[in-house]
Amino acid sequence: MALYLERLWIERRPPTLLVSHDVDEAILLADRILLMGQDGRITDELRNPMPRPRSIEMLNAPDHLRCRAEVVRFLREPEVQL
């Protein structure tokens, strides 16, 4: 589904806001990842350096793994700024 959504976005370029609790999905689909604190406010932003189009194989790419580690660190230690 994520790859279908990306293909649709590439073809039509509609403004898109995706809310996800799935870290890998967010990294695969988003160019910007906004991280919310426990109070529901956006506390940080990550820029996704991975080129488009993206693929499932990119889940093991160094840029993906680096971005994933930052998100996971934020989720484990929300008071730590990235």
Domain span including residue 27? 2-76
Token pair 């695969």: residue: 28
Over residues 58-82, the pLDDT tens digits come to 999 999 999 999 999 998 885 655 5
In a domain, 81, yes or no: no
In a domain, 50, yes or no: yes
Burial of 50 (0-12, 13-18, 19+ CB in 10 A): middle
> 60-65 long-range CB contacts below 8 Å, 24 or more apart?
64/24, 64/27, 64/28
Domain count, the chain: 1
Average pLDDT estimate for 34-54: 91
Give the number of other CB atoms < 10 A from CB of residue 13: 8
Over residues 26-38, the pLDDT tens digits come to 999 999 999 998 8
In a domain, 82, yes or no: no
